[in-house]
């Protein structure tokens, strides 16, 4: 833990929404009187029917419920568009920056409103109704935001699937939620490389369980020829003929807004379900206060809309606040390592929010590509997705921020809908590597493995003891799994799956996942998913995946593979298995290293002991701990020997 403290710069605090005393006062109020606090905060958005009921939540299994603003009615898209039209009709809502630095586009709130209405009418013309599911499998182009908001406008539930996921992963997500419509593009383009989105959809729709899909709308992104089947139509042809007027549907606060699939420690990815009222209040409030957003800011969150960060801080938070949001199609190092800063100067970006993995990758390229650009418009930096190591934090602060911009290290999850632990930049001094203090209404605690609450400076499992409006409401189609996953480990409390330390100042330091979830370059993957992909290969008998230290990705993927008897462990097979996982899940799941394992360390009851595999992968053979409970301790010796033969 770095003991260095970075004080809030006085000039920043002077103009900020909240200073330290404000934070202390409001935080106390928010936990002492959540009903009163959130009753007031909920009014920041427009309600078609105002709420009288604010919070009705219990994490007790016998009496479980999570409801917020639950007698209110609203429309999320109207909050992101219509209500800005009188004052901000000509203001830029979205700045789109293409993969090719020569391409960009500015879309005003008025134009965005028209495009969303046309898309909503197009969906209606295909028979989509309130509650129906629509899968969005698009690159980072304005149509992605348009499609999400169009769903919200008519009360359809969107499920955005990251364009980097394979056809198989896409098929699983389509079948799980029973989508009737898919919105995709001919191809995506990232870092100059093409991604065959439409072709992946075609393959996905041959999988069992996907016959729910009646229509596919295809956006022309690159213009390549793609086969068009009876169910396929060009997005533009359907949308451009529609009326630019589409009255927003009246939606209950607790009606679903979206499903987003995320990996857990067991089984297939879960459909995290978020609802409308609480989510929007929480996304917009955290966006305004954590990023200290003002009217003339240009806000750039570099995340893809395929992740929750893109949902809450590219689309819903910024647009609900009437802000200007940047949508970036490309990658940090294309055409060169100066791309972020070139784009910052081009669009006069004032708030920049990215992931530690990107910072570490750029750090390796040295200071020149950063210093080449002025970056003087930036006033605040943010980090999200994984713990940021103090070296990367310091570099981000000194080189990117010229030692003058505060950094908000924001801890949260797909499940939480918005940021839960983060400094407020004008209020809370920063320590490199610490997410600092809880946001309003958030009650974190640290417990030991028996669930005993630990006080003061300590370390253990991070839990949340009360609900907040942005919390997920269920796992789509499997409420029992929701309770089982989050509320059973420590009964009556939400278990985050993360470990954390708390220091003498009450600051939180997230230490990473304590379950079988890997955080690889800020992307979440379940070890079970990777293993099940591997064992579906005909030559693999058994597999175990663990995380290993990785300079850029933070955590890399290390897999142990036991082959079917008689199969030879060759370099060609290693390459084949890597490609196999890429094809099964997507490039983000590509193993960094595959080690052949004649056997795996198991307990006598047959459970794989990952703790030992993690140590071997990290080359920490001297810290294997107790191996006496293993069914066959000799297995470990042979794995260590094999590992040590490798540089």
Binding-site residue set for ATP: 385-387, 409-414, 498, 513, 524
Residues 460, 509: contact at Cβ < 8 Å?
A: no
Token pair of 167, please?
A: 């056809």
Residue 396 half-sphere exposure, CB side, CA atoms within 13 Å?
Answer: 29
| Interacting span for ligand WT7 (CB under 6 A) from 116-124, 228-236, 505-513, 587-595 | 505-513
Q: How far is the CB of 356 from ligand WT7 (least distance, A)?
A: 8
Query: Contact at 8 Å (CB) between 210 and 171?
Result: yes
Q: Would you count residue 254 as binding ligand WT7 (CB under 6 A)?
A: no
Tokens of 177: 């939620």
Q: Per-residue x/- mask for ligand WT7, residues 46 to 85, rule CB under 6 A?
A: ----------------------------------------
CA distance 505 to 41: 28
Closest approach of ligand WT7 to the CB of residue 500, in Å: 9
- Residue 385 sits in the site that holds ligand WT7 (CB under 6 A): yes
CB of 213 to ligand WT7, least distance (A): 26
Q: Give the CA angle between residues 563, 640, 522 to the nearest 5°.
A: 75
- Footprint of ligand WT7 on residues 394-433 (CB under 6 A)? 409-414
SS3 assignment, position 645: coil
Burial tier of 571 (Cβ tally within 10 Å: 0-12, 13-18, 19+): exposed
The residue from 513, 537, 553, 643 that contacts ligand WT7 (CB under 6 A) is: 513
CB of 636 to ligand WT7, least distance (A): 28
Q: What distance in Å separates the CA atoms of residue 287 and residue 77, rounded to the nearest whole number?
A: 17
Subset of 172-211 contacting ligand WT7 (CB under 6 A): none
Q: Which is nearer to ligand WT7, 104 or 413 (CB)?
A: 413
Residue span binding ligand WT7 (CB under 6 A) among the ranges 16-24, 366-374, 507-515, 603-611: 507-515
- Least distance to ligand WT7 from the beta carbon of 360, Å? 14
> Is residue 491 classed as helix, strand or coil in its secondary structure?
coil
Task: Report d(CA 412, CA 310) in Å as an integer.
Answer: 13
Question: Where in 298-317 is the site for ligand WT7 (CB under 6 A)?
Answer: 307-309
> CB-wise, 198 or 311, nearer to ligand WT7?
311
CA distance 534 to 527: 11
Residue placing its CB nearer to ligand WT7 in the complex, 510 or 557:
510
With CB under 6 A as the rule, give the number of residues binding ligand WT7: 23
Residue 508 binds ligand WT7, judged by CB under 6 A = no
453 binds ligand WT7 (CB under 6 A): no
Residue 455 main-chain phi, psi, to 5 deg: -100, 165
Annotated binding residues for CoA, written as ranges, equal: 190-193, 309, 333, 582
Task: Return the range that interacts with ligand WT7 (CB under 6 A); candidates 36-44, 325-333, 384-392, 423-431.
Answer: 384-392
Q: Are 215 and 126 in contact (CB under 8 A)?
A: yes
**254/498 with CB nearer ligand WT7:** 498
Contact 392, 369 (CB under 8 A): no
| Binding to ligand WT7, residues 261-280 (CB under 6 A) | 262
Q: Does 258 bind ligand WT7 (CB under 6 A)?
A: no
What DSSP letter does each residue of 42-75 carry, written as one string? GGGS--SB--S--EEEE--GGG-EEEESTT-EE-
The correct pick among 198, 431, 524, 643 for binding ligand WT7 (CB under 6 A) is 524
**H-helix or E-strand spanning residue 450:** none
Partners of 445 in the β-ladder: 463
Name the H helices within 34-166.
Answer: 34-41, 76-80, 85-88, 109-125, 142-154
Residues 122-161 that bind ligand WT7 (CB under 6 A): none
- The minimum distance between CB 418 and ligand WT7, in angstroms, equals 9
Distance CA 359, CA 400 (A): 9
Indicate whether 497 belongs to the interface with ligand WT7 (CB under 6 A): yes
Q: Does 510 bind ligand WT7 (CB under 6 A)?
A: yes
* Both structure tokens of 276: 């409308």
Query: Which CB, 309 or 343, lies closer to ligand WT7?
Result: 309
Residue ranges binding ligand WT7 (CB under 6 A): 262, 307-309, 384-387, 409-414, 435, 496-498, 510, 512-513, 519, 524
């Amino acid at each position: 833990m770095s003991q260095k403290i970075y004080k809030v710069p006085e000039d920043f605090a002077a103009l900020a929404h909240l200073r330290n005393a404000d934070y202390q006062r409001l935080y106390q109020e928010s936990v002492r009187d959540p009903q009163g606090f959130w009753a007031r905060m909920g009014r920041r958005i427009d309600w078609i029917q105002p709420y009288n009921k604010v919070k009705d939540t219990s994490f007790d299994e016998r009496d479980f419920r999570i409801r917020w603003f639950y007698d209110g009615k609203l429309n999320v898209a109207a909050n992101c568009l219509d209500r800005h039209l009188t004052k901000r009709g000509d203001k830029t809502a979205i700045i789109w920056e293409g993969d090719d630095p020569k391409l960009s586009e500015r879309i005003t709130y008025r134009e965005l409103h028209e495009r969303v209405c046309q898309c909503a009418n197009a969906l209606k013309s295909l028979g989509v109704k309130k509650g129906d599911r629509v899968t969005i499998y698009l690159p980072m182009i304005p149509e992605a935001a348009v499609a999400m908001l169009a769903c919200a406008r008519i009360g359809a539930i969107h499920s955005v699937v990251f364009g980097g996921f394979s056809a198989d992963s896409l098929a699983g997500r389509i079948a799980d939620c029973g989508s009737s419509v898919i919105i995709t593009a001919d191809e995506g383009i990232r870092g100059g490389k093409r991604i065959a989105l439409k072709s992946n959809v075609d393959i996905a729709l041959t999988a069992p369980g996907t016959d729910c899909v009646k229509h596919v709308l295809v956006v022309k992104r690159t213009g390549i020829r793609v086969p068009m089947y009876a169910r396929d139509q060009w997005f533009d042809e359907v949308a451009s003929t529609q009326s630019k007027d589409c009255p927003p549907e009246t939606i209950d606060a607790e009606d679903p807004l979206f499903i987003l699939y995320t990996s857990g420690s067991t089984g297939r990815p879960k459909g995290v379900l978020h609802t409308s009222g609480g989510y929007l209040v929480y996304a917009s409030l955290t966006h305004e206060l954590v990023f200290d957003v003002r009217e003339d800011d240009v806000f750039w969150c570099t995340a893809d809309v395929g992740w929750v960060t893109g949902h809450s801080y590219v689309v819903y938070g910024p647009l609900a606040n009437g802000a200007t949001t940047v949508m970036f199609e490309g990658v940090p190092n294309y055409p060169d390592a100066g791309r972020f800063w070139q784009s910052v100067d081009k669009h006069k970006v004032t708030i920049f929010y990215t992931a530690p993995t990107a910072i570490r990758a750029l750090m390796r390229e040295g200071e020149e590509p950063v210093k080449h650009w002025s970056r003087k418009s930036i006033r605040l930096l943010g980090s999200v997705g994984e713990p940021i190591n103090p070296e990367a934090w310091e570099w981000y602060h000194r080189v990117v921020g010229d030692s003058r911009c505060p950094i908000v290290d924001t801890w949260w999850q797909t499940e939480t809908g918005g940021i839960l632990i983060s400094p407020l930049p004008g209020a809370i001094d920063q320590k490199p590597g610490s997410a600092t203090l809880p946001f309003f209404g958030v009650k974190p605690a640290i417990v030991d493995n028996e669930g005993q609450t630990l006080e003061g400076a300590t370390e253990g499992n991070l839990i949340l003891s009360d609900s907040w409006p942005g919390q997920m409401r269920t796992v789509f189609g499997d409420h029992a799994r929701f309770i089982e996953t989050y509320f059973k480990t420590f009964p009556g409390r939400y278990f985050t799956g993360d470990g954390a330390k708390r220091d003498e100042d009450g600051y939180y330091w997230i230490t990473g996942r304590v379950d079988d979830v890997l955080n690889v370059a800020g992307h979440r993957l379940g070890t079970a998913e990777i293993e099940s992909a591997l064992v579906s290969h005909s030559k693999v008998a058994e597999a175990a995946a663990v995380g290993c230290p990785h300079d850029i990705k933070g955590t890399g993927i290390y897999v142990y593979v036991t082959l079917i008897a008689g199969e030879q462990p060759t370099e060609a097979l290693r390459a084949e298995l890597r490609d196999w996982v890429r094809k099964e899940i997507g490039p983000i799941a590509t193993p960094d290293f595959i080690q052949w394992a004649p056997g795996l360390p198991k307990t006598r009851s047959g459970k794989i002991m990952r703790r030992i595999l993690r140590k071997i992968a990290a080359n920490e053979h001297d810290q294997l701990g107790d191996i006496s409970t293993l069914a066959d301790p000799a297995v470990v010796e042979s794995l260590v020997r094999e590992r040590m033969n490798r540089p």
